[in-house]
Amino acid sequence: SSIPKIVILGAGYGGVMTALRLQKQLNYNEADVTLVNKHDYHYITTHLHMPAAGTDSPENARVSISKLIDEFKIDFVKSTVVQIRPQDRKVILEDGTLSYDYLVIGVGGEPETFGIPGLKEYALNIRSINSVRLIREHIEYQFAKYKREPHRTDYLTFIVGGAGFTGIEFVGELADRIPQLCREFDVDPQLVKLINIEAAPTALPGFDPELVEYAMDVLRKKGVTFRIGTPIKECKPDGVIVGEGEEIKAQTVIWTGGIRGNRLIEEAGFETMRGRVKVDEYLRAPGHDNVYVVGDNSLVFNEEGRPYPPTAQIAMQQGVAVAHNLVASIRNQALKKFEYKHKGTVASLGKGEAIGIAFGKKYKGWTAAQLKKLIDLRYLFIIGGIPLVLRKGKFF
Ligand code: FAD
Ligand code: NAD
């Protein structure tokens, strides 16, 4: 048939926004849209630090895709993409093949390990529902094991590698959880160590220094130890090597040292920088007018020539722009250039505490924590309306 086929890979922030906008804007029989995702749920990546630490249930960080999209308008395929073949206009899935006229790639990034030995093998990552369930269970198990071998305090040492926003948000949650775990397992809180290790000369490099200091104060008071200016050089089954060879013994290492583009992108032959595609002004892969890339796999530069950090915020705006450009292409109308509008950054520091910059103003403490809640509720509203806000929203 002559109906164009649109295939969207990944139901993350970018993919879901693209799908939701297409389902709203396309007329009946204007295009066939297929959304492919590894799981039959979308996960709210920006909440994953909570189920990882065990301060919230993993159920609150995921939403069934059938509740988000209209399956009369969009075909959902639960499958894993194993290869993208732009030259054949095909996508190979673990259990089949899809051909497309237009492709949207939104499969999300992967942990960047910078080739540091042992990180892939021995560190845990905050990336998905499955990965955070593992972290949560692993942490509880260390407390249980310690009770059997009370001389092994390395069971009670928790290392978080990287003090970017993911690392900071996670240590904030874990610091809240530790007193609970200590009560539950009858462990002396003095024995537990939560160490956040950062290579750069400061935590949250590039962020407002006054807010960074505030964040570190709050977290230190909750029991977090910072090792700043201290690169992790190696990860071993029983700890990490930092700086000039110092060894820190720990049975738990959580790597939050950054992310890179998905391996599928490089393997497809797209030109990449740290695994990401430097997209054109319409968000297309250079040399491929029918392939759009959104979210953590795309690289967009600001006026000063610096790349925007990969966030849910930019991924969502890209999804909106890509849907617009797909509809325009199908209707032979002009494409619109993507312009990112930065609304701000707010990061949680655990219960009742946060820092942020929004609307050109700095926020900290309780006010910032309320702002964070509002941002989270707003996202639920955008993708799933009031019913989703009521089912998954955190109001307190
Ligand atoms: P993702 O949201 O990563 O989703 C990718 C999707 O693709 C997933 O559904 C996955 O299952 C699927 N997938 C992956 N591989 C395959 C495959 N081979 N086949 C099929 N499907 C596949 N950003 C903000 O703006 N604000 C925040 O407050 C914030 N907080 C964060 C907190 C944490 C703890 C973390 C880890 C990140 C946070 N971020 C935040 C960053 C933000 O979550 C990411 O930038 C965003 O999720 C990227 O969206 P995406 O669309 O690229 O893909
Ligand atoms: P990141 O790249 O922002 O931070 C990684 C940190 O790890 C950096 O500070 C880096 O210096 C450090 N690091 C790298 N190698 C190291 C080593 N060998 N030893 C010790 N430290 C090392 O990654 P992230 O925190 O996962 O964030 C990813 C993206 O998601 C960012 O764009 C971020 O802005 C976004 N995000 C936003 C929020 C929020 O807005 N609340 C929360 C989480 C993540």
How close is the Cα of 12 to the center of ligand 1, in Å?
5
Q: Please say whether the beta carbons of 143 and 184 come within 8 A.
A: yes
How close is the Cα of 42 to the center of ligand 1, in Å?
9
CATH 3.50.50.60 domain range(s) in the chain: 119-255
Of 166, 226, 248, 342, the one to substitute when testing ligand 2's pocket (max ligand atoms within 8 A of C-beta) is: 166
- What distance in Å separates the CA atoms of residue 272 and residue 112, rounded to the nearest whole number? 14
Q: What is the pLDDT of residue 212?
A: 98
Kindly state which CATH superfamily the domain 119-255 is placed in: FAD/NAD(P)-binding domain (3.50.50.60)
Q: Which atom of ligand 2 is nearest to the CA of 242?
A: 19
- What distance in Å separates the CA atoms of residue 357 and residue 235, rounded to the nearest whole number? 34
Residues belonging to the chain: 396
Cβ atoms within 10 A of the Cβ of 135, count? Answer: 24
Q: What is the pLDDT of residue 270?
A: 95
Q: Which ligand is nearest to the CA of 91?
A: 1
Q: Please say whether the beta carbons of 249 and 154 come within 8 A.
A: yes
* pLDDT per 10-residue tile (average), the chain, 396 residues: 92 98 95 98 97 97 95 96 98 98 98 97 98 98 97 97 98 98 98 98 97 98 98 98 97 98 96 94 97 98 94 98 98 97 96 95 97 93 91 82
What b/e sequence results for 261-279 when a residue is b if at least 16 CB atoms lie within 10 Å of its CB, and e otherwise?
A: bbebbbebebebeebbbbb
| Degrees, nearest 5: CA angle 311-206-309 | 20
Ligand 2 pocket check for 125: Cβ under 6 Å = no
Of 110, 276, 311, the one to substitute when testing ligand 1's pocket (max ligand atoms within 8 A of C-beta) is: 311
Q: Which ligand is nearest to the CA of 343?
A: 1
Ligand 2 pocket check for 344: Cβ under 6 Å = no
- What distance in Å separates the CA atoms of residue 395 and residue 296, rounded to the nearest whole number? 28
Q: What is the pLDDT of residue 200?
A: 98
| CATH architecture of the domain covering 5-109+261-343 | 3-Layer(bba) Sandwich (3.50)
210 catalytic? Reply is no
- What distance in Å separates the CA atoms of residue 212 and residue 201, rounded to the nearest whole number? 12
DSSP 8-state secondary structure symbol assigned to residue 124? B
Q: Which of 169, 173, 198, 353 is catalytic?
A: 169
| CA of residue 365 relative to chain centroid, distance | 24
How close is the Cα of 45 to the center of ligand 2, in Å?
14
How close is the Cα of 312 to the center of ligand 1, in Å?
7
List, chain by chain if needed, residues with CB within 6 Å of any ligand 1 atom: 10-15, 36-39, 42-43, 45-46, 48-49, 80-81, 106-108, 126, 166, 169, 294-296, 310-313, 315
How close is the Cα of 51 to the center of ligand 1, in Å?
15
Nearest protein CA to atom 2 of ligand 2, as residue: 258
CATH 3.50.50.100 domain range(s) in the chain: 5-109+261-343
Of 36, 40, 77, 107, the one to substitute when testing ligand 1's pocket (max ligand atoms within 8 A of C-beta) is: 107
How far does the chain reach from its first CA to its final CA, in angstroms?
52
Q: What is the pLDDT of residue 1?
A: 56
